[in-house]
Amino acid sequence: MIEAPVRMYVTEEADGTATLSYKLPTHVFAPYSDEGGAGLAALAGQLDRRFALIAQQAQE
């Protein structure tokens, strides 16, 4: 199975609200940590922070 690198989903609910869902980049990239090493881990951590920022702004 192939997983798209990183993504966020916005799903409209029946009541007109929306739900934001995603997997953290550190989770998505974890299977590649041996090959990617510290550089990949650092990048995934940076992306985690950006995802958190997007999620926070979406709630405002």
Check pLDDT > 70 for residue 30: yes
SS3 14: coil
Looking at residue 38, its pLDDT comes to 96
Q: How far apart are CA 41 and CA 31, in angstroms?
A: 11
Average pLDDT value for residue range 19-42 = 94
Angle ∠(54,46,1) on CA atoms, nearest 5: 85
pTM of the shown model = 0.81
Q: CB-based contacts of 24: which residues, under 8 Å, 6+ apart? A: 44, 48, 51
Q: CB-based contacts of 4: which residues, under 8 Å, 6+ apart? A: none
